[in-house]
Amino acid sequence: MRLRTLLRVALIPLVAGAAALSVASPVAAQEPGQVGPAIVGGGQASGDFPWIASLQVNGRHGCGGSLISSQWVVTAAHCIPQQQGMQLRIGSKTWQYGGTLSSASRMIKHPRYSGQAGPNDIALIRL
């Protein structure tokens, strides 16, 4: 029952994030072969983001997540690696340093996750 409640609570940040992405500015047109900035019209984020999580395997950022309680992070199920050794950097605007580095003690994918991005692509990670 508690897992079901956590899954429901976890959907709120994911839906809000998807809505934010759907209204984001379009990428500016580029000449073929040119590389442009990843964020058009963006700027350096200021302030603290204690809920932000970088999911890392072998010291490299793979996906993001959100801290939803002192011990749980919500993310997409396709971000959960098959191998062990995932670490999470919590509360830093960069994946390389800062915040708190924690290990995943338990990873739970939605029971109806099909292995593809889409419906039920949600997971919980216990720190």
Could you tell me the CATH number of the domain that includes residue 64?
2.40.10.10
The pair of three-digit structure tokens given for residue 84, joined into one six-digit string: 């062990």
**Domain annotation covers residue 33:** no
Q: 48 pLDDT exceeds 60?
A: yes
Tell me whether residue 73 is in a domain: yes
What is the model's pLDDT at position 67? 94
> Does some domain include residue 110?
yes
3-class secondary-structure state, position 15: helix
Confidence of residue 124 (pLDDT cuts 50, 70, 90): very high
| Cα 73 from Cα 101, distance rounded (Å) | 13
Residue 16 near residue 74 (C-beta atoms within 8 A): no
Answer for the pair 78, 102: CB distance below 8 angstroms, yes or no. Answer: no
The first and second tokens of residue 102, run together, are 């924690």
pLDDT band per the 50, 70, 90 thresholds, residue 26: very low
Asked if pLDDT for residue 108 goes beyond 80, the answer is yes
Based on the structure, what is the number of domains in the chain?
A: 1
Domain span at residue 64?
Answer: 2-19+48-126
Four-residue CA torsion sign, 101, 106, 112, 114: positive
Asked if the model's pLDDT at residue 9 lies above 80, the reply is no
Q: Are 92 and 98 in contact (CB under 8 A)?
A: yes
Output phi, psi for 98, to 5 deg.
Answer: 85, 175
Percent of the chain residues past pLDDT 90, beyond the cut: 39
For the chain, what is the mean pLDDT?
76
pTM score, whole prediction: 0.64
CA distance 113 to 88: 22
Specify which residues 66 forms β-bridges with: 52, 74
Cα 65 from Cα 6, distance rounded (Å): 14
Q: Who contacts 61 (Cβ-Cβ below 8 Å, separation ≥6)?
A: 54, 55, 95
Q: Is 34 a domain residue?
A: no
Confidence of residue 41 (pLDDT cuts 50, 70, 90): low
